[in-house]
Chains A and B, each alone.
Chain A
Amino acid sequence: MVVSEPMTRMGPILCTRGLQMRYGQGTGLVRALDGVDLQVAPGETVAVMGPSGSGKSTLLHLLGGLDRPSAGEVWLGGRRIDGLSERALSRLRRQHIGFVFQSFHLLEELTAAENVELPALLAGQSPRTARRRAVELLERVGLADRAGHLPSELSGGQRQRVAIARALSNQPLVVLADEPTGNLDSAATVEVLRLLDHLRAAGQTFVIVTHDARVGATADRLLTMRDGVLVEETRLTRGGNGQLAALAGLEG
């Protein structure tokens, strides 16, 4: 693992080493993360599953520079980020990380297009460039015809797709998603799954924390977390209709 050099195509885009997060002390000490080593390759979608309280949201917060670890390292794009100043971290988040949340976090007063262009504007893009990018992204998530709508005029699935478009605004190195289908019904979940699968195929890097097995199943690699440690890893390969046939009951 080469982490001290600038980002190379082959190296991980995001990685952690011995990541720990502790709260409280003495008998009240909680080890939310207890030594997590994670490597995410460029273009890879990694899903982290685990029961509530297993530490998966904490991990996502540390990956996104929303929190600082008690010990260990976080590297993004070949740069160590866990020790950055608050100001540098917030710039890094704005420019290189996309966030997708369970409850969408869209600004209700702004239209879909305005929500999507906001990160580009905050990153210093010209209004024209930002708008062009927003229109392009809304097209990509299949909502070009909803650009002028307020979030309240959109369905849950559409809102989450706007939020995903917004997360892509600055061409982030990685998109971090926390229970992206947690607030969606089954049909809207499929809408978002289709989009995630599409973006994954297009080479976007994702780390997704989820309870939802269907979301986990869109990943290239699936990790299970228990008690602050990664305990199980599976690479989800394509193909395998033989296995499918067995699952469907088409077996001898």
Chain B
Amino acid sequence: MGEPGKEAPSGYQLRVVQEVLLALLVKEASHGYELYARLQLALGPLAEALKESQVYVTLNRLEKAGLVSAERVGQTSGQERKVYALTAAGRERVMTWLDDVSWPKPAPAEFHLKLVAAATAGLADPVRLVDAQRHALLAGLAAAQRAGLAEPSESLSGLLLEGVVLRLQADLQWLEACARYWTSRREL
């Protein structure tokens, strides 16, 4: 789990963090740290990719856009004291997001064309390129699987890691098909 104070690897941020935060506010108004704790629970070991400060930056942005309203509670200053609530516009944004069926796209075309180009130009053996790519994906699979095996079974973040593993497995199956094709071409 994300240890407090640990620097997250730079450059990563939750793509859909805006909509997720809005959706978490549908049921009731919350403090920023409560929202962050929910995300941590859902992401498990991956939560360290998401800084708590990012949550506050995003909430500020949402407030300026009129999607959430913030009310300061208690005497102390600072963002931790703010309670965020969803506005009507924010609620509408959540509903649109829930209905949206667009899906992060796998991108086989580029790799496919890389193999074609390498073979056509005689630049590299496509089968070797496939092997190198397979190993890169296997390293990712190993990382996801280890993180998954370290989670208790039926854990929420384990479910996310299973998704990562299964997608990589599918990609690896396709790479095997690539290897078969280009191996048979090599023998011609």
Interface residues of A (CB under 8 A from B): 51, 190, 193-194, 197, 213-214, 216-219, 222, 224, 226, 231-234, 236-252
User: Which of A218, A234, A252 meets B12, CB within 8 Å?
Assistant: A252
Binding site for A on B (CB under 8 A): 9, 11-15, 43, 45-46, 48-50, 104, 127-128, 131-132, 134-136, 138-147, 149, 160-161, 163-165, 167-169, 172, 176, 179-180, 183
Instruction: Flag if A222 contacts B145 (CB, 8 Å).
Output: no
Known A241-B45, A241-B49: A213·B172 in contact at CB below 8 Å = yes
Contacts of A248 on B, CB cut-off 8 Å? Answer: 46, 144, 160-161, 163-164
Known: A193-B149, A214-B165. A245 touches B141 (CB 8 A): no
Contact of A213 among B131, B143, B164, B168 (CB under 8 A): B168
CB contact under 8 A between A243 and B143, given known A213-B172, A248-B163, A252-B15: yes
CB contacts (< 8 Å) of B12 on chain A: these are 242, 245-246, 250-252
Partner of A244 from B11, B128, B143 at Cβ < 8 Å: B143
Interchain CB contact under 8 A, B14 and A250: yes
What residues of A have a CB within 8 angstroms of the CB of B163 in the complex?
248
Asked if A250 and B140 make an inter-chain contact with CB atoms under 8 angstroms apart, the answer reads no
Please determine whether A214 and B169 come into contact, CB atoms closer than 8 angstroms: yes
Can you add 7 more A-B contacts, CB < 8 Å, to A226-B127, A252-B15?
A51-B176, A213-B169, A214-B141, A224-B131, A245-B46, A247-B144, A252-B12
